[in-house]
Chain A
Amino acid sequence: GNSVTQMEGPVTLSEEAFLTINCTYTATGYPSLFWYVQYPGEGLQLLLKATKADDKGSNKGFEATYRKETTSFHLEKGSVQVSDSAVYFCALRRRDDKIIFGKGTRLHILP
């Protein structure tokens, strides 16, 4: 079936460090892929998306590339800030439009 697996957290980094949060998926066909972010005390909000293979989504310095060969959509940022501390969810959209979320990865950035 369709599923999303992302790295367990929490992930703790120092400010200005390089960030990678791994996400892999299993799905029928080529689903649209998303990263959502949840800041403390808030609802989720869309961070970036990619709708087909080799697409790169980007926003706020974050990037993720849709890799069909490895069924992955890893989130990266070159230099994280304290304000990036949040929970990050990888997700896919199935053919029937249902959104499947990963379990989330909590990110702590230390000043």
Chain B
Amino acid sequence: EAQVTQNPRYLITVTGKKLTVTCSQNMNHEYMSWYRQDPGLGLRQIYYSMNVEVTDKGDVPEGYKVSRKEKRNFPLILESPSPNQTSLYFCASSIRTSGGTYTGELFFGEGSRLTVL
């Protein structure tokens, strides 16, 4: 089954304790992205990756890191979490068209709800 898998789904942690949210897709997609969803703010992009070893900042990258060492994996790293990073996080992937552009059809994981105390 084609899917994007995130782990953990739920996490409560404390300020300053490094954590990693993993994301893996089995669709051989080049494009992967992280979003956070907050009430009243909708979805905001954190980081994205067009392909292996290529990552770029989205709209709200502060306090986050990512890496793309393999095509299928795109982990989100919070080196020193703070309470304002309490949010619902989504990983998504997309395929490139034969013309080289991205279709815009994003496949989302089920989300990771993070609480930072």
Contact = CB atoms under 8 A, between A and B. Distances in A.
A98 B43 CA distance: 13
A40 B111 CA distance: 11
B42 A44 contact: no
Main secondary structure of the interface of A (DSSP, over half): strand
Nearest to B108: A43
B104 A43 contact: no
A49 B110 contact: no
Interface string B104-117: 11111111000000
A93 interface: yes
Contacts, number: 48
Interface residues on A, range: 20 to 34
A78 to B, nearest CB: 25
Interface stretch (A17-25, A68-76, A100-108): A100-108
B110 A99 contact: no
Interface string A11-42: 00000000000000000000010101000011
A54 to B, nearest CB: 18
A32 B42 contact: no
A89 B4 CA distance: 19
Interface of B: 4, 31, 40-43, 45, 90, 92, 101-111
